[in-house]
């Protein structure tokens, strides 16, 4: 039952546990019996782990709809998770950080500067710094955090794609939704699809898969579930491919247990980042039509 509970969110509150217990009581149960069962589960360290204040994503018990349809966080309650979920997230962090010194996808700095200088849109200092960090770090997994409208897709990721393609790499993209994948394709010039489609293809050898000459851009990372993220990173590590994880901590959490960029698995190294919607220049129509 707890496995099913963490399939939808990486953490849960007491209301979610009581609801799950009630749904599993096929022959009915009194409120007192459900409450006692919940108390016993929450007191058992072999079954659950109590999270510290501020840990855990918002759940339905924290959210209220006000008059006029506005939705807001009402009160962030005590959260718990399972030892298995914590172990999965820790493996995810370890897998990402363990690839820091691999020299994966490290490009020549002169080539990167040529790409930055040759862009039809002049990059801001923050955008140019992000391009340099992502293409020369040598890390198997890099993380870029930036808000909507900051130019991360057309300016930063578009420049990253051009640099890697000039160096002979294959650059592909994936996102949690088809809409976000279209943005990656239209604004960044990447061949992109959904994470679900990517995972299906990676399980089919005839689909081509990833390789050491591949750079995978994973957009909307905060909306990708922990299990899916772990699967993608596992495939990339086995193939020697570089992954650039792109996220916005203000996005909605994943439907599957997540989200990686705002939960415990978000403590990844190398976050070239600028303030959300901050001074980085936005992309205009000219930039969008060049990629």
Instruction: Please write the tens of the pLDDT for every residue from 168-184.
Output: 999 999 998 899 899 88
Residue 146 has pLDDT above 50, yes or no: yes
Answer yes or no: do 17 and 122 share one domain.
no
Last residue of a domain, one of 81, 111, 143: 81
Answer yes or no: do 7 and 124 share one domain.
no
Answer yes or no: do 141 and 39 share one domain.
no
Answer yes or no: do 124 and 75 share one domain.
no
Last residue of a domain, one of 56, 81, 106: 81
Residue 284 has pLDDT above 60, yes or no: no
Query: CATH code at 232?
Result: 3.40.50.300
Q: How far apart are the first and last CA of the chain?
A: 48
Answer yes or no: do 101 and 71 share one domain.
no
Last residue of a domain, one of 48, 81, 114: 81
pLDDT class for 275, splitting at 50, 70, 90?
A: very low
Instruction: Please write the tens of the pLDDT for every residue from 157-169.
Output: 999 999 999 999 9
- pLDDT for res 53: 64
Domain that holds residue 70: 2-81
Answer yes or no: do 57 and 137 share one domain.
no
- C-alpha span between 56 and 78 (Å, rounded): 9
Answer yes or no: do 134 and 254 share one domain.
yes
- C-alpha span between 78 and 63 (Å, rounded): 14
Answer yes or no: do 96 and 168 share one domain.
yes
Answer yes or no: do 231 and 93 share one domain.
yes
Q: Is the peptide bond before 161 cis (omega within 30 degrees of 0)?
A: no
Answer yes or no: do 124 and 256 share one domain.
yes
Count: domains in the chain: 2
Answer yes or no: do 77 and 102 share one domain.
no
Answer yes or no: do 69 and 191 share one domain.
no
Instruction: Please write the tens of the pLDDT for every residue from 235-254.
Output: 999 999 999 998 875 654 54
């Amino acid at each position: 039952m707890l496995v099913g509970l963490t399939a939808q969110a990486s953490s849960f509150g007491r209301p979610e546990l009581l609801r799950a217990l009630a749904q599993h009581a096929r022959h009915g149960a009194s409120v007192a019996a459900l409450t006692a069962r919940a108390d016993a589960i929450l007191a058992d360290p072999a079954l659950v782990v109590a999270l510290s204040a501020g840990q855990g994503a918002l759940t339905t018990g924290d959210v209220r709809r006000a008059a006029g349809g506005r939705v807001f966080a009402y009160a962030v309650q005590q959260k718990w998770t399972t030892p298995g979920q914590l172990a999965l997230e820790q493996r995810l962090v370890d897998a990402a950080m363990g690839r820091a010194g691999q020299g994966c996808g490290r490009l020549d700095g002169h080539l990167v500067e040529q790409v930055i200088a040759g862009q039809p849109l002049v990059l801001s200092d923050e955008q140019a710094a992000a391009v340099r960090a992502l293409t020369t770090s040598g890390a198997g997994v890099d993380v870029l955090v930036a808000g909507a409208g900051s130019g991360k897709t057309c300016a930063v990721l578009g420049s990253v794609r051009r640099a890697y393609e000039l160096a002979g790499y294959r650059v592909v993209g994936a996102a949690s939704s088809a809409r976000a994948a279209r943005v990656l394709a239209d604004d960044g010039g990447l061949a992109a699809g959904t994470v679900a489609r990517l995972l299906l293809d990676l399980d089919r050898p005839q689909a081509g898969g990833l390789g050491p000459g591949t750079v995978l851009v994973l957009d909307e990372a905060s909306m990708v579930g922990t299990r899916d993220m772990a699967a993608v990173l596992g495939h990339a590590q086995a193939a020697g491919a570089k992954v650039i994880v792109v996220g916005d901590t203000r996005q909605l959490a994943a439907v599957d247990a997540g989200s990686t960029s705002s939960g415990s698995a978000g403590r990844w190294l190398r976050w070239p980042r600028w303030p959300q919607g901050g001074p980085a220049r936005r992309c205009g129509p000219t930039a969008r039509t060049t990629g």
